Copies of this chain bind each other. A is one copy, B any other.
Amino acid sequence: MSSIDRAAAQRFAKTFAPVTLPPLTQSAVLRHGHRTRSLHVAKGTDVLVAGNRYDSWYLNHNGWLMRYKVLHSGARQILDFILPGETFGLQACVFRSSLYSVVTITPASLTAIPFDMIETMLEQGLHLSKALLWSAICESARLGEHVIDSSRRSAYERLSHFFLELFVRLKSAGLTVGMSFEAPLTQELIADALGLTAIHVNRTLRCLRQDKLVAMDGKKVTIVDFEALSLLSDFENSYLGEDARALFAR
């Protein structure tokens, strides 16, 4: 297994078992390493296409990807950004075909883990079973917040909440510097994620800048006033799994 895979396994361990489990999770993934496939994909590549069948799920090492769907109206909705260290594609294993498409928005190196390995993981490792279950439940939690975002918050609140979530998730992956992070996002992508138009995102971003809450310099985002942002957008990071407990408590 290449060194990049080892780094990926470490990141996976860190993401999904910050409490007590990193070594076990890591070694368990590594133990089956010979069955996995490494791939390096360019920016803008569709890794999963909605409606197709797949037999692997994916571990994302270092890139940004997004899960999305386009409606018959032509509108595109982004469900989720997949950050370094996170996984995707489990759904495609459960359902006959993938419900959503996944595309890279930066170059990315991935590890594909054959689906039937999940059986093995479930059979052999209690800890891995928990990790899988936990990652699915965390995804639910994020989507739950996303529902609230889309239906009950103003554009101003949505942007606030969005940047805070990104910041906390990137921070737990060690990808922040102070209160800043790099995000390869365009205003159009943000709009598609939050259910707005790029134009309105633009206007709202200007307000956030003027109000000294968020600063943006190209692709670099800085959280200027974490407190104010949290308050106005009902942000509480507990849903991100920062303090997940029970499954890994012992």
Contacts and interface: CB of A to CB of B under 8 A. Distances in A.
B148 A71 contact: yes
Given A123-B126, A195-B152, A245 B137 contact: no
Specify how many copies of this chain sit in the oligomer: 2
A136 to B, nearest CB: 4
Contacts of A69: 144, 148
Nearest to A69: B148
Contacts of A234: 71-73
Interface centre among A72, A118, A133 (most CB of B within 10 A): A133
A209 B227 CA distance: 47
Chain A, interface residues (CB within 8 Å), range: 35 or more
A235 to B, nearest CB: 11
A73 B151 CA distance: 13
Interface string A147-163: 11011110000000000
Q: Is the interface of A mostly helix, strand, loop or mixed?
A: helix
B99 A141 contact: yes
Contact of A91 (B119, B141, B150, B151): B141
Interface string A107-137: 0000000010011001100100110111011
Contact of A150 (B115, B150, B231): B150
A97 B244 CA distance: 9
Nearest to A120: B126
Interface of A: 55, 69, 71-73, 75, 77, 79, 90-91, 93-97, 99-100, 115, 118-119, 122-123, 126, 129-130, 132-134, 136-141, 143-144, 146-148, 150-153, 194-195, 231, 234, 238-239, 241, 243-247
